Amino acid sequence: MNTNFETQDITLKDLSLHPDNVRANSGAGYRAEQIAHLAANIGECGLLQPLLVAALPKGSATTWGVLAGGRRLAALTALSQDKSAKSFTKTMKVACRIVPDNETPAVTLSFSENDLQLPMDALDRYEAFAAMQTRDHADVATIARTFAITERAVKEALRLGNVHEDIRQAHREGTLSLEALKAFDAHPDPVVQLAAFADLSEGSGGRIQPWSVNQYFQGRFVRVGEALGQFVLEGYKAAGGSITADLIEEDSVLEDSALIETCLRKALSDAADARRAKLDLNWSDILVQRDYSVTSSYGRVYPSDCELTPEQQEETDKLALRMEEIEIAFDTAEDFDAEMALRDEYDALSEKIGEITTKYSAEDASLSGVIAVWTGREIEYLDGMVRPENMHENGKDGDTADTAASAYPRVAAQDKWSDKLKSDMAHVRTRSVALALAQSPELARDYGDFTMIRSVMSENSYRFIDENTLRVETGSRGPDLVSGSL
């Protein structure tokens, strides 16, 4: 078989897929989105590899058929149709290698080029990007444009190329998977990576799993882009905290764990104090993580309905009307994102109405406060909390939130609202509960149990043990108590 094929420039419009091209009928890899990166590369670098072509029978629509290089042909055609790619036209000349008429095994030639190419190893490809920066002086934007990928993808590749050489070598030798190798870039410092690699290698049986790498780094370091990192970042920077920079800014690491906690406590304290002032309560406190063993010992009071000014009444009527409109729109929402946007607006309006129509009584405000809790993702406010030592004031006994909340009389909201607002809110609340229950059969069952139990018990016969458990007790004819939990 002759391997010294003549190279000839052929006009693009005279080229098409050859019937003997092994991918001619599959269409594999020829769609616009599949050749976008190839077209971008040819647009930047030109055609690096000539097409392998053979003459087509007379009477064919074109003169030459491409045996190997169909995707390159598709990319060139796409570029010729792109008005912004000015040097690419249907009449442009394309470098081709000509298979002579006496070369019969055309299918073999086509299969050889398509099947026997060895793709670059993932690590080799990532390290190539680093070499493009250092030796070709290509910046991230240029690399992204050349290969039609995002700048973040380029940065992730470059970051992997910066993983400690010993760890990369373990991947080359086959003792470390690509997924595990990628996991080591959780910290941008190769020295830290190598220390983690050494620790994890002990007792791993020579095979480090990706999950073990993730678990090792989890909780040890805080990235800028994480919820905690974003929450403390301003204070951390102001305090001069050390940050190890990453190619991707949000993946840079805050190094000083003690300072992170100090900043977290300060930010939580500021947020709790602002909340206390807004609600006009007596004190504020913080928890850096949820701790039900602490909060369950507190009582809790709730705001009472307050007298509305004409302006406030008008505003709440408008808000309730908008909530009704949202209910109607929810039934015709086009997609999940639209539903969630409506839910968020509905919740915000409901909260706004609550802020306008309710207020803590002077007695409750003098005893209660707010606790700002960091959930790991955001602040959760526990409003109207009553400290255990204050729960027996004014001669009131009890050890639960409900008992503390019942220490003072409440005025029914309906006595303060207009007739229209009463009607609107009754409908809105019914609809809101129905929507919530429809999303969770388990919630519907629990709500039914709760309603039935609570409806037959006296006010002082039940109490909340924690946020998820209601304990009900009632006296029996015998000396013992009948009790149950929901």
The answer to whether 383 touches 279, Cβ cutoff 8 Å, is: yes
What 3 state SS string does 448-460 have? Answer: HHHHHHHHHCCHH
What does the pLDDT read at residue 280?
92
Residues 415 and 336 in one domain: yes
| Domain end residue (candidates: 115, 132, 152) | 115
- In 2-139, where does DSSP find H-type helix? 32-45, 70-80, 106-115, 122-135
Question: Between residues 297 and 106, which one has the greater pLDDT?
Answer: 297
Span 471-482, pLDDT tens digits: 655 544 434 434
Residues 435, 460: one domain?
no
Residue 19 lies in a domain: yes
Are residue 379 and residue 329 in the same domain, yes or no?
yes
* pLDDT for 408: 41
Same domain, 439 and 450: no
The whole-number average pLDDT for the span 306-312 is 89
Note whether 305 and 411 are same-domain residues: yes
Strands 299-300 and 222-223, bridge-based pairing: unpaired
CATH number at residue 44: 3.90.1530.10
pLDDT at 273: 97
Give domain status of residue 291, yes or no: yes
Q: pLDDT averaged over the chain?
A: 81
Collect all residues with Cβ–Cβ distance below 8 Å to 359 and sequence separation of at least 6. Answer: 280, 303, 304, 306
Helix (H, G, I), strand (E, B) or coil at 205: coil
Find the mean pLDDT for residues 200-217. 85
Query: What are the residues facing 482 on neighbouring strands?
Result: 474
* 35-56: b (≥16 Cβ within 10 Å) or e: beebbbbbbeeebeebbbbbeb
User: Which of 74, 45, 77 lies closest to 148 in space, CA to CA?
Assistant: 45
Domain that holds residue 452: 446-486
d(CA 428, CA 432): 6
The pLDDT of residue 270 is above 90 = yes
pLDDT at 93: 93
Report the domain count for the chain. 3
- Supply the pLDDT for residue 193: 93
Residue 410 lies in a domain: yes
Checking if the pLDDT of 285 tops 90, the result is: yes
Do residue 335 and residue 463 come from a single domain?
no
Within a domain: residue 14? Answer: yes
For residues 430 and 286, membership in a common domain is answered with yes
pLDDT of 96 higher than 90: yes
pLDDT at position 30 is 78
- Chain centroid, CA 191 distance in Å: 29
Domain final residue, candidates 57, 81, 115: 115
Confidence of residue 3 (pLDDT cuts 50, 70, 90): low
Indicate whether 337 and 483 sit together in one domain: no
What pLDDT is attached to residue 240? 95
Q: Is residue 323 part of a domain?
A: yes
Is 172 part of a structural domain of the chain?
no
Give mean pLDDT, residues 145-150. 84
Least confident of 149-158, 255-264, 470-479: 470-479
The reply to whether 165 falls in a domain is: no
Query: Quick one: 431 and 450 in the same domain?
Result: no
Structural domain contains residue 163:
no
pLDDT digits (tens, 9 = 90+) for 433-460: 666 666 666 666 676 666 666 666 655 5
The confidence score (pLDDT) of residue 420 equals 60
